[in-house]
């Protein structure tokens, strides 16, 4: 048993300046502000500027997280960047971020689990810190989904947006952590669902980036039940109950999915962090974006018990519990 805890030292986020409102989408596809709000809770999404890449969004979020942690970039020896929209097929976008931050030590890699990417990245970074491979990690979720949307497909293009979020984790001896740190997690994947949410291109198949395709109703139907399982196991592993939770910070895909999940655990609205209205589904970026909002507005405080969860293409899904 490791005696190390991965403690959250800081958070940061970044949204591109350009905002695309539901009203603006009405002139692009046959949709309406009322339909989008009622079915998803989304009011607007942010779109990266021409020449603004996933690495730019990730670097901005990482800088904000380092500043809030009071930690210099030179102390970071691990970067795990969750993204399904990397700058290039390779090298990993994480090494571009590493270079942009002036970091010359440690290691950096991308992780691909689509919307569950941040939960996967957090879990992997935690394992690497516990294994003694690194001391201070940047865990980033960053996406430019606007680049892989079919802008003529109203069933998908209204749902997604661009953004980035980051947290700084530090390996702290359990005896000095004061109960803080990542307490438990539970990851799942089931490739039998891979055609429910996917991108129809890639280097090995079409030599193009492709476009996002989704059977939304099917994803919705599965999401609530599958997420329930990983959340239950995550709570069980930490020996806590649903009532012990201070904050539920779910993947921000759809307000109705968030509410349905919260209802299953009897979590009142006041305990749920919801940011989907302002930026839509930003895939791997959505959880760290929401965490940063709730930390900066004073909701999430040191010592709070915070649960994050997500489900995405694959399907991949997972949950993690953090004593903040
Ligand atoms: O982050 C990864 C996980 N992804 C998700 O969590 C997404 C999960 N799915 C969803 O969020 C929902 O299924 C959607 C928001 C995608 C769709 O909501 P829904 O309540 O499941 O609607 P639906 O797909 O059953 O479509 C209802 C109707 C259809 O018309 P008909 O067949 O009833 O005439 C659609 O063609 O709404 C129509 N529709 C639209 N209408 C206006 C679909 N997209 C739009 C649109 N504007 N943008």
pLDDT band of 218, cuts 50, 70, 90: very high
As a whole number of angstroms, the distance between CA 187 and CA 168 comes to: 21
Mean per-residue pLDDT, 234-260:
97
Mean per-residue pLDDT, 99-123:
98
pLDDT at 242 (0 to 100): 97
Q: Which atom of ligand 1 is nearest to the CA of 281?
A: 1
Q: How many domains does the chain divide into?
A: 2
Ligand 1 mean position to 218 CA, how many Å? Answer: 10
Mean per-residue pLDDT, 25-52:
98
Tell whether ligand 1 has an atom less than 6 A from the beta carbon of residue 115: yes
Structure tokens at 111: 């992780």
Output the CA–CA distances (angstroms, integers) from residue 133 to 99, 120, 139, 152, 269, in the order listed. 20, 17, 15, 46, 39
- The CATH number of the domain holding residue 224 is 3.40.47.10
Tell whether ligand 1 has an atom less than 6 A from the beta carbon of residue 257: yes
Residues 23, 162: one domain?
yes
The residue from 110, 144, 177 where one domain ends is 177
Residues 65, 173: one domain?
yes
Tell whether ligand 1 has an atom less than 6 A from the beta carbon of residue 26: no
Q: Which atom of ligand 1 is nearest to the CA of 254?
A: 11
- What is the layout of strands, in order, in the sheet containing 162-173? 4-14, 162-173, 136-144, 78-82, 107-111
* Per-residue 3-state assignment (H helix, E strand, C coil) for the chain: CCCEEEEEEEEEEECCCEEEEHHHHCCCCCCCHHHHHHHHCCCEEEECCCCCCHHHHHHHHHHHHHHHHCCCHHHCCEEEEECCCCCCCCCCHHHHHHHHCCCCCCEEEEECCHHHHHHHHHHHHHHHHHCCCCCEEEEEEEEEHHHHCCCCCHHHHCCECEEEEEEEEEEEEHHHCCCCEEEEEEEEECHHHCCCEEECCCCCCCCCCCCEEECHHHHHHHHHHHHHHHHHHHHHHHCCCHHHCCEEEECCCCHHHHHHHHHHCCCCHHHECCCHHHHCECHHHHHHHHHHHHHHCCCCCCCCEEEEEEEECCCEEEEEEEEC
Residues 123, 8: one domain?
yes
Asked if 281 is an active-site residue, the reply is: yes
Residues 198, 310: one domain?
yes
pLDDT band of 270, cuts 50, 70, 90: very high
The residue from 177, 207, 234 where one domain ends is 177
Q: What region, left, alpha or beta, does residue 52 occupy, with left being phi > 0 and alpha being psi -120 to 50 degrees?
A: beta
Residues 35, 70: one domain?
yes
Question: Is the per-residue pLDDT at 1 higher than 70?
Answer: no
**Mean of pLDDT over the chain:** 97
Residues 185, 156: one domain?
no
Tell whether ligand 1 has an atom less than 6 A from the beta carbon of residue 312: yes
Mean per-residue pLDDT, 258-265:
96
Cβ contact 250:226 at 8 Å: no
Question: Is the per-residue pLDDT at 239 higher than 70?
Answer: yes
At CA 272, angle to CA 320 and CA 257, rounded to 5? 80
The answer to whether the predicted template modeling score (pTM) of the entire model surpasses 0.85 is yes
- What is the layout of strands, in order, in the sheet containing 305-312? 181-189, 316-323, 305-312, 247-250
Q: 154: buried, middle or exposed (CB in 10 Å: 19+, 13-18, 0-12)?
A: middle
Mean per-residue pLDDT, 202-228:
96
What proportion of the chain, given as a percentage, has pLDDT over 90? 99
Question: Among 216, 280, 308, which residue has the most ligand 1 atoms within 8 Å of its CB, making it the best to mutate?
Answer: 216
Structure tokens at 184: 């438990």
pLDDT at 2 (0 to 100): 57
* Structural domain containing residue 8: 4-177
Atom 38, ligand 1: residue with shortest CA distance: 155
Ligand 1 mean position to 146 CA, how many Å? Answer: 18
Residues 24, 45: one domain?
yes
Residues 121, 207: one domain?
no
Asked if 279 is an active-site residue, the reply is: no
Count of CB atoms situated within 10 Å of the CB of 27 = 7
Residues 241, 296: one domain?
yes
pLDDT at 233 (0 to 100): 98
Residues 145, 77: one domain?
yes
Pairing of strands 162-173, 136-144: antiparallel
Mean per-residue pLDDT, 109-126:
98
Place of tokens 């004061």: 178
Residues 173, 186: one domain?
no
Ligand 1 mean position to 210 CA, how many Å? Answer: 21
Question: Is the per-residue pLDDT at 25 higher than 60?
Answer: yes
Question: Is the per-residue pLDDT at 160 higher than 80?
Answer: yes
Residues 158, 201: one domain?
no
Mean per-residue pLDDT, 152-180:
98
pLDDT at 302 (0 to 100): 98
The residue from 126, 145, 177 where one domain ends is 177
Tell whether ligand 1 has an atom less than 6 A from the beta carbon of residue 33: no
Mean per-residue pLDDT, 5-29:
98
Mean per-residue pLDDT, 190-208:
98
Q: Tens digits of per-residue pLDDT, 60-76?
A: 999 999 999 999 999 99
Pairing of strands 247-250, 305-312: parallel
Question: Catalytic one among 22, 124, 254, 281?
Answer: 281
Output the CA–CA distances (angstroms, integers) from residue 55 to 45, 49, 98, 200, in the order listed. 19, 13, 10, 23
As a whole number of angstroms, the distance between CA 172 and CA 218 comes to: 42
pLDDT at 16 (0 to 100): 98
What proportion of the chain, given as a percentage, has pLDDT over 70? 99
Mean per-residue pLDDT, 90-118:
98
Question: Among 33, 36, 39, 314, which residue has the most ligand 1 atoms within 8 Å of its CB, making it the best to mutate?
Answer: 39
Question: Is the per-residue pLDDT at 254 higher than 70?
Answer: yes
Asked if 46 is an active-site residue, the reply is: no
């Amino acid at each position: 048993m490791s005696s190390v805890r991965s403690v959250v030292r800081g958070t940061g986020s970044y949204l591109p300046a350009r905002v695309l409102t539901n009203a603006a989408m009405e002139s692009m596809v046959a949709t309406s502000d009322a339909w989008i709000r009622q079915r998803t809770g989304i009011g607007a999404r942010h779109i990266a500027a021409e020449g603004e890449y996933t690495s730019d969004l990730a670097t901005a979020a990482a800088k904000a997280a380092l500043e809030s942690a009071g930690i210099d970039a030179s102390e970071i020896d691990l970067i795990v960047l969750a993204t399904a929209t990397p700058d290039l097929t390779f090298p990993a976008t994480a090494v571009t971020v590493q270079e942009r931050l002036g970091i010359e030590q440690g290691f950096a890699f991308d992780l691909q689990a689509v919307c569950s990417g941040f939960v996967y990245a957090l879990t992997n970074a935690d394992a690497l810190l516990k294994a003694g491979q690194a001391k201070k990690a940047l865990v980033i979720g960053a996406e430019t989904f606007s680049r892989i949307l079919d802008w003529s497909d109203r069933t998908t293009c209204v749902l997604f947006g661009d953004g980035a979020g980051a947290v700084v984790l530090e390996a702290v001896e359990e005896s000095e952590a004061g109960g803080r740190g990542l307490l438990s997690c539970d990851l799942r994947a089931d490739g039998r669902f891979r055609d429910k949410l996917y991108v129809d291109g890639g280097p090995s198949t079409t030599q193009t980036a492709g476009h996002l395709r989704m059977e939304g109703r099917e994803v919705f139907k599965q999401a609530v039940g599958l997420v329930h399982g990983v959340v239950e196991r995550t709570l069980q592993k930490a020996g806590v109950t649903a009532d012990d939770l201070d904050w539920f910070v779910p993947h921000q895909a759809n307000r109705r999915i968030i509410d349905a999940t919260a209802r299953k655990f009897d979590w009142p609205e006041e305990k749920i962090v919801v940011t989907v209205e302002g930026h839509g589904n930003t895939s791997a970026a959505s959880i760290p974006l929401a965490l940063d909002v709730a930390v900066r507005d004073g909701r999430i405080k040191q010592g709070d018990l915070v649960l994050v969860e997500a489900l995405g293409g694959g399907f991949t899904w997972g949950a993690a519990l953090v004593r903040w």
